[in-house]
Amino acid sequence: MSYFSDIYNGIKTLLTGMSVTGKYFLTLRKGAITQQYPDNRATLKMFDRFRGEVIMPHNEDNEHRCTGCQKCEIACPNGTIEIIWDRGIDENTGKKKKKIDKFVYHLSMCTMCGLCIDVCPTDAIKWGQKFENSVYDRTQLTRVLNKPGSKLQHGVED
């Protein structure tokens, strides 16, 4: 006798499904998730986990957190990151110490895998939210992430 209960359950579940989509249909004004991109360019805010490009945040004193350990360069599967480093005198201890000269990032080779960011011990690099990366010349995609004249933030290595 499961024949009739099958029919009953069938109709009941179909109506449940229709009520779910029906609710979506009625709340569409509030819930539309489509971004009308070129129109809302001024107000568009990308979501937190969006992977646009690798950036290196600097604080107001033009200091970054990169110690030049080169772990990111080793972790990168396709040679996107290139660190040109130098040795300088540390003011506090007076010893010779490794510091970065240029953190070169080739956006054109990056696959946004995020291994460099996972591996960074000092959180020096992060995901940026910018995604309008088209340029007329390929060389513009090679970027130096540390700003000119920037130095290591104090206390990062401790």
Partner 1 sequence: MNISLNITKSIHEWLFSIMPEGVANIVEMALIGLLYLAIFAILGLFLVLLERRVAAWFQLRIGPNRVGFQGVLQTMADALKLLSKELTGTVKADKFLYNLAPYFVIISSLMALAVIPFTKEFQAFDINIGIFFLIGVSSIGVIGILLGGWASNNKFALIGAMRSGVQTISYEMSIGLSLLTMILITGSLQLSEIVEVQKSGWLIVQGHIPAIIAFMIYMIAGTAETNRAPFDLVEAESELGAGFHTEYSGMKFAYFFLAEFINMFLIAAIATTIFFGGWLSPFGITESIPWLGVFWFLGKALILIFLMMWFRWTFPRLRIDQLLTLEWKYLLPINLVNIVIMALIVWLNLTIKI
Binding site for partner 1 (CB under 8 A): 7, 14, 17-18, 20-22, 24-25, 28, 31-34, 36
Q: How far is the CB of 21 from partner 1 (least distance, A)?
A: 4
Q: How far is the CB of 46 from partner 1 (least distance, A)?
A: 19
Choose between 8 and 131: whose C-beta lies nearer to partner 1: 8
Choose between 19 and 108: whose C-beta lies nearer to partner 1: 19
Q: How far is the CB of 31 from partner 1 (least distance, A)?
A: 5
Amino acid, single-letter form, for residue 35: Q
3-state secondary structure 65-94: CCCCCCHHHHHCCCCCEEEEEEEEECCCCC
Coil, strand or helix: which one is 102? strand
Cβ partners under 8 Å of residue 145, min gap 6:
54, 55, 56, 103, 104, 105, 125
Phi, psi (degrees; rounded to nearest 5) at 11: -65, -40
- What gap in Å lies between CA 89 and CA 96, rounded to an integer? 5
| Contact by Cβ (8 Å): 62, 142 | no
Choose between 34 and 43: whose C-beta lies nearer to partner 1: 34
Choose between 36 and 134: whose C-beta lies nearer to partner 1: 36
The closest of 60, 62, 61, 54 to 103, measured between CA atoms, is 54
Q: How far is the CB of 20 from partner 1 (least distance, A)?
A: 7
Q: How far is the CB of 50 from partner 1 (least distance, A)?
A: 19
Choose between 26 and 112: whose C-beta lies nearer to partner 1: 26
